[in-house]
Amino acid sequence: MPTALIIGASRGLGRALAEEHLKRGWAVIATVRDPAALADLAAAHGDALRVELLDTIDWAGVDALHARLAGIALDLLFVNAGISGPVTAPIGAVEPDAFTQLMLVNALAPLRIVDRFADLLAPDGTAAVMTSGLGSIANNNGGWEAYRMSKAALNMGFVSLAQRRRVGAQAWLTVAPGWVRTDMGGPAATLSIDQSIPAIADLLEQRHGSGTTAFVNYEGRELPW
């Protein structure tokens, strides 16, 4: 039974990713901020699901989780947590405190977690973060300026981590889920969770053990950085 650690699984894409892997026969360690968030999945999947409490910007909490998971070999490490921030404001109107929080949650926290947990990743395992197509510098067509910057920073930092931490046949992926109907994506989004998440699980399987670093969308297509 392969093991996945999914950071940020309380709701939306992270919860769906945890549920999809449980359905596929994985053991899943899922982090949440609300201990009741995954009660239904725990009831349905029993010991296959381990729920851990974590706030991704609680540095001491991150290290405590790492200590609790010592000795576990991870086949998948996936960090999903993120916020949208001041999405409609031009960068000249964004308050410094809001921008700092956005960068802290969307860029620094995921990268710190991947860096700290990379030693638990199997030699043919997969490290991944949920990014966005809006983080592509080459495809930038304007709008969502602060959010774009946070995801571009995440992508850049992740590649730097892959250069330093990737070993063996590990796959290191930044994954753009598409515009999905979640609390963040809103009701006008073009994709349902059921269209995005199973496809992401498929691409993770296809890339497993590939020894590559890539920026991919939910269909597995590589995107320009």
Whether 132 contacts 185, CB under 8 Å:
no
Cα–Cα dist 7/31, whole Å: 5
pLDDT tens-digit readout, 1-57: 999 999 999 999 999 999 999 999 999 999 999 989 999 999 999 999 999 999 999
Q: Percent of the chain at pLDDT above 90? A: 91
If you average pLDDT over every residue of the chain, what do you get?
Answer: 95
pLDDT(178) > 90: no
pLDDT, tens only, 192-206? 889 999 999 999 999
Domains along the chain with CATH numbers: 3-217 (3.40.50.720)
Residue 55: predicted pLDDT: 96
Range in 83-87, 133-137, 188-192, 219-223 the model is least confident about = 188-192
Query: pTM of this prediction?
Result: 0.96
Give the C-alpha separation, 140 to 168, whole Å: 33
Q: Quote the percentage of the chain above a pLDDT of 70.
A: 100
| 74-79 sheet: strands from edge to edge | 49-53, 27-32, 3-7, 74-79, 121-130, 171-176, 213-217
